[in-house]
Amino acid sequence: MKIHFLGTAASEGIPNPFCSCEHCQQARIYKGKDLRTHSSVIIDDELLIDIAPEFSQQLLRDELDATKIKSLLFTHTHPDHFNVGELFSRMEGYGFNITHPLQIYGNDLAINGAVGVLPGYSAERFGFHCLIPFVTVETCGYRITPLLANHAKWELCYTWFIEKEGQTIFYGHDSGWFPELTWQWLEGKKIDLTVLECTYGFNGDNRTNNHMSLETVFSARDRLAELGCLPKKSKIIVSHISHSGGLLHDKLVEECNKENILVAWDGLELSIN
Ligand SMILES: [Zn+2]
Ligand SMILES: [Zn+2]
Ligand SMILES: [Zn+2]
């Protein structure tokens, strides 16, 4: 599998347009990897996770074709991940020469939210699948399992365990320290690539709720190792990065290098082998 990071920022983006903190000011000057759009990834150019507010621009920037996307997984319905209005452009009469339906997976809020903006949709254009945590389904050659996150108070947010041809990706955010049921499910599962978030930067707490700090990321790595999830070639990468973490890209890379953890940036492609 190949994972392509369309966006790597937390909910404010970097820079946050409404912020003049030092981090945002420096990002405006340095640009490059310090400019981050909202978090979303695409796997093998055909399986999309979340739709960021900058979706169209992300695809244009990286020369990707949205008509090739076959499946869409939603982690949850916070607006930085759930720019569901974009889907209207795939409706009949709006998007042309589309030859397959887009299969959409998520929790009940996500599926209801998506259906709600697509009145009168046709089955040739969209299929909807409201998933139950820990129940695996198949989509276009991928086995996908929603695992519970520890994120919003009134929504069962999902992280995604994705398997194809013996390779596995665990897309583990948005989430704080995972709920015990998720740890239990992960026990003994080999993960080739784990994507975690580090929204809080360093904050002195290694068991954060809602989002992960870097200390929580390091502890999660240790817990995954204890559970036998990290074979030798396994990689961990952080995304969903916030200006409030206070670490510009190079500094974050320096800190994560010490822990053998990678840092995502907008446009990064990683192949698993
Ligand atoms: Zn988010
Ligand atoms: Zn800022
Ligand atoms: Zn969120």
Q: What is the pLDDT of residues 174-226, one digit of tens each?
A: 999 999 999 999 999 999 999 999 999 999 999 999 999 999 999 999 999 99
Quickly list H helices, the chain.
22-30, 55-61, 108-116, 180-186, 214-226, 249-257
Q: Say how many Å lie between the CA of residue 268 and the centre of ligand 2.
A: 23
- What is the number of the ligand closest to the CA of 21? 2
Q: Helix, strand or coil for residue 87?
A: helix
Nearest CA to 73 out of 13, 8, 122, 137 is that of 137
CB 201 within 8 A of CB 211: no
pLDDT tens string 213-254: 999 999 999 999 999 999 999 999 999 999 999 999 999 999
Which pLDDT score, from 0 to 100, does residue 273 have?
Answer: 76
Q: Is the pLDDT of residue 123 over 90?
A: yes
Rounded Cα distance between 59 and 37, Å, is: 12
Say if residue 155's pLDDT is above 80: yes
Cα(23) to ligand 2 centroid in Å equals: 5
Average pLDDT, the chain: 98
3-state secondary structure of 25: helix
What token pair was written down for 193?
Answer: 């690539």
CATH of the domain at 96: 3.60.15.10
Q: What is the DSSP letter of 243?
A: G
CA of 99 to the centre of ligand 3 (A): 32
Number of domains the chain is built from: 1
Q: Which domain holds residue 227?
A: 2-271
Interval between CA 14 and ligand 2 midpoint (Å): 7
pLDDT, mean of residues 139-155: 97
Question: Which ligand has the minimum distance to the alpha carbon of residue 240?
Answer: 1
Which pLDDT band holds residue 131 (cuts at 50, 70, 90)?
A: very high
- Whole-number Å distance, alpha carbon 80 to ligand 3 midpoint, is 7
CA of 150 to the centre of ligand 3 (A): 10
Phi, then psi, of 96 in degrees rounded to 5: -115, 160
- Total-model pTM: 0.98
Lookup result for tokens 């020469």: 97
Q: Cα of 13 to ligand 2 centre, how many Å?
A: 9
How far apart are the C-alpha atoms of 93 and 58, rounded to whole Å? 24
pLDDT digits (tens, 9 = 90+) for 22-38: 999 999 999 999 999 99
Q: How far is the CA of 232 from the centre of ligand 3 (A)?
A: 31
State pLDDT tens for residues 94-103.
Answer: 999 999 999 9
List residues, by chain if needed, whose CB lies under 5 Å from ion ligand 3: 78, 174
Ligand 2 center–CA 198 separation, angstroms:
16
Instruction: Please report where in the chains the tokens 């929580």 appear, as a residue.
Output: 216
- 166: its two tokens: 């013996």
**Distance of alpha carbon 246 from its chain centroid, rounded?**
21
